[in-house]
Amino acid sequence: MSTIESNAVLNRLPEHLKQFIKPQNYKDYSSIDQAVWRYVMRKNVNFLSQVAHNSYLKGLKQTGISIDNIPNMYGMNRILKDIGWAAVAVDGFIPPNAFMEFQAYNVLVIASDIRQLEHIEYTPAPDIIHEGAGHAPIIANPEYAEYLRRFGEIGCKAISSAKDYELYEAVRYLSIIKEAPNSNETDIISAEQKVETLQQNMGEPSEMALIRNLHWWTVEYGLIGTVTNPKIYGAGLLSSIGESVWCMTTEVKKLPYTINATYKNFDITKPQPQLYVTPDFAHLSLILEEFANTMSLRKGGLSGVNKLIESKALGSIELSTGLQISGIFSKVIEYDGKPVYIQTLNNTALAYREKELVGHGTKTHNKRFGSPIGKLKGINLAIEDMSPRDLAAYNIYEEKTVTLEFEGGVSVSGEIITGKRNLQGKIILISFKNCTVTYNNQILFKPHWGNYDMAVGKDIVSAFSGPADLSSFSLITHKPSSETVHVKKSDARIELESLYQQIRDYRNNKNRTISRTKVLEQLIEKHTNDWLLSVELYELAHMGNESKLCEKVLNHLENLKQNRPELGKLIDDGLKIVDEKVEI
């Protein structure tokens, strides 16, 4: 982290999120990369000034994002801190829970690589155009920024399935291989097929899959206003010069944004056939809260525990007393539709209000943890609701040997050592020695295993992804299965970059002695497929009223269009905006 400039917002980040941050390495951006950024921004700002939500252009100014230069993360952070946010660079896709958690801390995650010139209109890989020119400007709107933060806060608690993790890795690999220079077409097709196969065989969607849908149809591909007159605010549309135009046509169906969007899946590799329109940013938060009410985070219960078991990942439950149990859940015994006993594997930690209970971390509970849930049989009063006099009456008292029989059939027998209470005075944990725990004829805990700590709670009120206390577990575990590919540049590529740099230096008044005619001649002779530098040459010649150079460039571009018709629209769009001065 020593090479990353921090600020007050970033200083609040927990260590397990900092593991995803990498230096931006601004010097790695080539002159071609800068030209790609400039082309996309000039075209986008020109078009989006008509169709984007008014927060977009205002936000570009507020976040310090320039048309001519790829944003420097340090500069962005100095400006973003004024609106209570920050930005960090990462390597492509990061795990969904981590991405959401960054948002909860008011931190914008920016994939610092930039798309290749060949993918200038759209790339499935997150890049700095998508993040910096798409996400960053809109967060200057306070209502939207609060939605984004709240989304992260709720989203990072969503429970994933084991298949979600598999799909994440497959999508990450596809995004990397599609952007990698010299990728084998067969490998790309194979990676696309794997993503498609996984997407079609996900089974019952997890909470993370559902909330990811909401994220996609709002944060990434959202429209705002009315179905008949929508404006763009989603970053995926704001950063795609192809799809931002197409989405405004009648070919793309526009639907009112409701909770139903949760169940509409998306394909990251294709343009979206329909989009959702929110009337305003406040409506986004209403739908988010409506969805949150369906999550185990707020419902708990048997289904919440089962989701944690299916996820095979670190998660937590919270009992009605406020006691929180964090670990990898492996077993639940149910009775009459309710959980009556839960069990974790290996390291487990107990907490209250997100703070680990002293003496009840993973060092103490390093094998497994199990506890009954519910009321005692034949007693209408739950243990947590008993007064000291009630507890004494039922022998739930220090140094008393007692057998507690629960409604679900679990029995706990042993000598009580002590108990712990919450701030309201309710007992939340009872510790036993010489303890045996059984369910019917099955032994769940034996005396020689040591002391037994029994969680107290009549209900599971919440179940969510991750630990209750972040410090209870070592979360510095991120090792991506695939990393962004950076190949060694060929001599031809280095030479082409040099030509781009010469024109960039000329435009920026660093070197006005450069012969642009000579640059054009070298381009035509040695780099016949490049089109973007010719557009930049035309811009400079047009600004200087150099008709002969304009004519030469236009002739070359016309030949290019004849030989590569797929470049026609990109070239024409580039020439079109030369006459239109685009400023922020």
Q: Which two tokens stand for residue 503?
A: 């024109």
Confidence at residue 501, expressed as pLDDT on a 0 to 100 scale:
96
The two three-digit tokens of residue 49, written as one number: 């000034």
* 584 domain residue, yes or no: no
Phi, psi (rounded to 5 degrees) for 443? -90, 125
Using a pLDDT cut of 70, give the percent of the chain over it. Answer: 93
pLDDT one-digit tens code per residue, 498-538? 999 999 999 999 999 999 999 999 999 999 889 999 999 99
In a domain, 391, yes or no: yes
b/e map of 336-367 (b: 16 or more CB within 10 Å)?
Answer: eebbbbbbbeebbbbbbeeebbeebbbebbee
* Residue closest to 520 by CA, chosen among 561, 563, 552: 552
Does residue 175 carry a pLDDT above 80? no
The secondary structure of residue 220, as a DSSP letter, is I
Please tell me the least confidently modeled range out of 139-143, 176-180, 420-424: 176-180
Q: Is the pLDDT of residue 10 over 50?
A: yes
Band of pLDDT at residue 204, cut at 50, 70 and 90: confident
**Is a pLDDT exceeding 50 seen at residue 1?**
no
> Domain for residue 299, yes or no?
no
C-alpha to C-alpha distance for 159 and 165, rounded to whole angstroms:
11
Asked if residue 572 and residue 439 are part of one domain, the reply reads no
Q: Decide: 575 and 557 in contact? Cβ < 8 Å.
A: yes
Does 203 score more than 80 pLDDT? Answer: no
Are both 17 and 50 inside the same structural domain?
yes
4 within domain boundaries? no
Same-domain check for residues 518 and 416:
no
| 257-278 mean pLDDT | 90
Q: How far is CA 353 from CA 169, 330, 453, 457, in A?
A: 33, 23, 19, 15
Query: How much is the mean pLDDT over the chain?
Result: 89
Domain end, chosen from 472, 504, 535, is at 472
Short-list 304, 216, 195, 203, CA closest to 262: 216
Token output for 330: 């492996």
Asked whether residue 319 carries a pLDDT value surpassing 80, the answer given is: yes
Residues 33 and 113 in one domain: yes
Q: How much is the pLDDT for 584?
A: 47
Instruction: Please identify, among 429, 445, 472, the residue that sits at the C-terminal boundary of a domain.
Output: 472
In a domain, 302, yes or no: no
Task: Verify that 496 and 468 share a domain, yes or no.
Answer: no
Q: Please tell me the distance from the alpha carbon of residue 364 to that of residue 358, in angstroms, as a whole number.
A: 10
> Mind listing the pLDDT tens digit for each residue in 351-400?
999 999 999 999 999 998 999 999 999 999 999 999 999 999 999 999 99
CB atoms within 10 A of CB 7: 15
Assess if residue 484 is contained within a domain: no
The stretch 339-353 carries a mean pLDDT of 96
Strand pairing partners for 442? 439
Encoded amino acid at 175, one letter: S
Highest mean predicted confidence (pLDDT) among 124-128, 161-165, 208-212, 459-463: 459-463
- Which carries the bigger pLDDT value, residue 579 or residue 510? 510
Largest Cα separation within the chain, whole Å, is 103
Q: What is the DSSP string of 76-104?
A: HHHHHGGGT-EEEEESS---HHHHHHHHH
For range 330-338, the mean pLDDT: 95
CATH number at residue 119: 1.10.800.10
Question: What b/e string do you get for 427-436 counting C-beta neighbours within 10 Å, with b at 16 or more?
Answer: bbbbbbeebb
Domain count, the chain: 3
175-184, 296-305, 405-414: which range is least confident on average? 175-184
Q: What percent of the chain has pLDDT over 90?
A: 62
Q: How many CA atoms lie within 13 A of 160 on its CB side?
A: 20
The reply to whether 226 and 104 lie within a common domain is yes
- Using pLDDT thresholds of 50, 70 and 90, give the confidence band for residue 58: confident
**Residue 519 and residue 501: Cα distance in Å, rounded?**
11
Same-domain status, 214 and 351: no
Walk across the sheet containing 253-256 and list its strands. Answer: 230-232, 223-225, 274-278, 253-256
Mean pLDDT of all residues in 456-483: 83
Determine, yes or no, domain membership for 131.
yes
As to burial, measured by CB atoms within 10 angstroms (0-12 exposed, 13-18 middle, 19+ buried), residue 544 is exposed
Residues 200 and 228 in one domain: yes
Domain annotation covers residue 301: no
Looking at 424, 442, 472, the residue that finishes a domain is 472
Residue 245 pLDDT level (bands cut at 50, 70, 90) = confident
CA dihedral for 519, 521, 527, 530, sign (positive or negative): positive
Same domain (yes/no): 151, 38: yes
Query: Residue 406, SS3?
Result: strand
As a three-state string, the secondary structure of 128-168 is: HHHHHHHHHHHCCCHHHHHHHHHHHHHHCCCCCCHHHHHHH
Same domain, 458 and 500: no
Q: Is the pLDDT reported for residue 316 higher than 90?
A: yes
Residue 305: is its pLDDT beyond 50? yes
Phi, psi torsion values for 81, nearest 5 degrees: -65, -20
Provide the whole-model pTM. 0.85
| Spatial contact of 213 and 264, defined as CB atoms under 8 Å apart | yes
> Whole domain around residue 380: which residue ranges?
313-472
> Are residue 369 and residue 284 in the same domain, yes or no?
no
On whether both 149 and 238 belong to a single domain, the answer is: yes
Pick the closest to residue 163 from 215, 201, 135, 126 (CA basis): 201
Q: Is the pLDDT of residue 286 over 70?
A: yes
Q: For 85-111, what is the mean pLDDT?
A: 88
Judged by DSSP in three states, 467 sits in coil
